[in-house]
Amino acid sequence: MKFVGLRIAALTLTMLALLSGVSGASASLRMFSSHGISFAYPSAWHATTKPLSNATEPVYRFAVGNFRFHRTPRDIGPCLSGIAKERPKNGVLAFMREALGADRRRSLPRTPSRPKHISLPRRSDQAWCLGNGTKEIVFHTAGRVFYLGMSVGPTASRADKRRLRTLLNAMRIK
């Protein structure tokens, strides 16, 4: 039974590499798995479970992007203005926060289900003090409530946009 699970995981990773449009040495992927959330991401990208701001609720579950990013003194509460300055024009970033406790109980009945397909922000979208090309999607799945932030720089490549979209749509949440 364990062999079948490994075989399915290997097949999933292969399909993600094919769908993401990468080839050769750049086709290697890493797996992220924490707090019941898992996904594959390009090995050249950066992922962390560290908070992107001093906000404690909802809690940060992950951040992943095609550039190096880290929390700065300017990143306060929901506003990530320091990270906005770190994001290059061709950068893509996604991060997810989870509502817990009373916040989850209050939010769950009024939060929509996870969308079947997550679309990336338009250039005119703005959220989280990250500038144009940023949006938030709030959804619930598996009895949990999430806030998914996405930021796409104005010159982000089609390939990186596709990689981010594939990562988010293939993400598993238990």
Whether the upstream peptide bond of residue 58 has omega within 30° of 0, thus cis, is yes
Distance, in Å, from the CA atom of 73 to the CA atom of 83, rounded to the nearest integer, reads 10
Structural domains of the chain in order of their starting residue, each with its CATH number? 2-173 (3.40.1000)
Give residue 12's pLDDT: 53
Q: What is the model's pTM?
A: 0.85
Distance, in Å, from the CA atom of 118 to the CA atom of 168, rounded to the nearest integer, reads 7
Percent of the chain clearing pLDDT 90 (strictly above):
83
pLDDT tens digits, 13-25 = 544 444 445 444 4
Q: What is the DSSP string of the chain?
A: -HHHHHHHHHHHHHHHHHHHT--GGGG-EEEEEETTEEEEEETTSEEE-S-SSS--SSEEEEEEESS-----TTEETTEEHHHHHHS-TT-EEEEEEEE-HHHHHHHGGGSPBPPSSPPPPPTT-B-TT--BSEEEEEEEETTEEEEEEEEE-TT--HHHHHHHHHHHHH-EE-
Per-residue pLDDT for 8 more than 70? no
Mean residue pLDDT of the chain comes to 89
Distance, in Å, from the CA atom of 17 to the CA atom of 93, rounded to the nearest integer, reads 19
- CA-closest candidate to residue 94, choices 72, 53, 57, 66: 66
Question: Residue 125 corresponds to which tokens in the numbers above?
Answer: 């979208």
pLDDT tens digits, 28-78 = 999 999 999 999 999 999 999 999 999 999 999 999 999 999 999 999 999
